[in-house]
A and B are shown apart, each in its own frame.
Chain A
């Protein structure tokens, strides 16, 4: 099993739709989880951290399921500006580093 796995997509959704991405991770001892956003030919930017109890930031909701070893990102009321690649990030247990998934591409159309 890969350390961090994501469906590459693309997910094509209309404006206003709700879309969800999942990401699975292999190491049950991982403690830190994040979602990053990367626009085409730009640097990754932190979207939100993922906490054990789940957390929300405006239209974005992140959840963690330790039993099944996955994290999710829910985007409500999609905007054209949400079109990007979303990277799932998990700490590499025993190292001072993070492992980035390859990303899920989201395309929001008018």
Chain B
């Protein structure tokens, strides 16, 4: 009964490095989301997907790219990491528009 699984759980990068965060859900949800959470800022939506093969920009998309090649997976990429991208990243999924979202347990990313 995994729900939403995020990998990795922790990562430290150097400025300029690239990496991909993986989100996998086993609930057959159509919608998937990537958020970042910073102290005092709350959850901010980076990108989201309303179905396999679709992606859309959220509130803070700059510096990130996403792909949804399979329905169960949603990948978040950082092409050239910057210290401002140090954050906790959460993936979420839902079965439909404006329905409750189920979250993964987060990826803590530090960029030096």
List chain A positions with a Cβ less than 8 A from chain B: 31-32, 34, 41-46, 49, 87, 91, 96-98, 100-103
Contacts and interface: CB of A to CB of B under 8 A. Distances in A.
Contacts of B90: 43-44
27 contacts: A32-B98, A34-B100, A41-B88, A43-B104, A43-B106, A44-B43, A45-B103, A46-B100, A46-B102, A49-B100, A91-B97, A91-B98, A96-B31, A96-B48, A96-B56, A96-B98, A97-B45, A97-B48, A97-B58, A98-B98, A98-B101, A100-B35, A100-B42, A100-B43, A101-B42, A102-B41, A103-B42
Interface size class of B (residues with CB under 8 A): 20 to 34
Nearest to A91: B98
Given A32-B99, A96-B48, 19 more contacts: A41-B88, A42-B105, A42-B106, A43-B104, A43-B105, A46-B101, A49-B100, A87-B42, A87-B43, A91-B97, A96-B98, A97-B33, A98-B101, A100-B35, A100-B42, A102-B40, A102-B41, A102-B42, A103-B42
A32 B100 CA distance: 9
Contacts of B50: 96
Interface in B21-59: 31, 33, 35, 40-43, 45, 48, 50, 56, 58
Contacts of B88: 41
Closest 3 pairs between A and B when the two form their complex, measured CB to CB:
A102-B42, A91-B98, A43-B103
Contacts of A91: 97-98
A43 B101 CA distance: 11
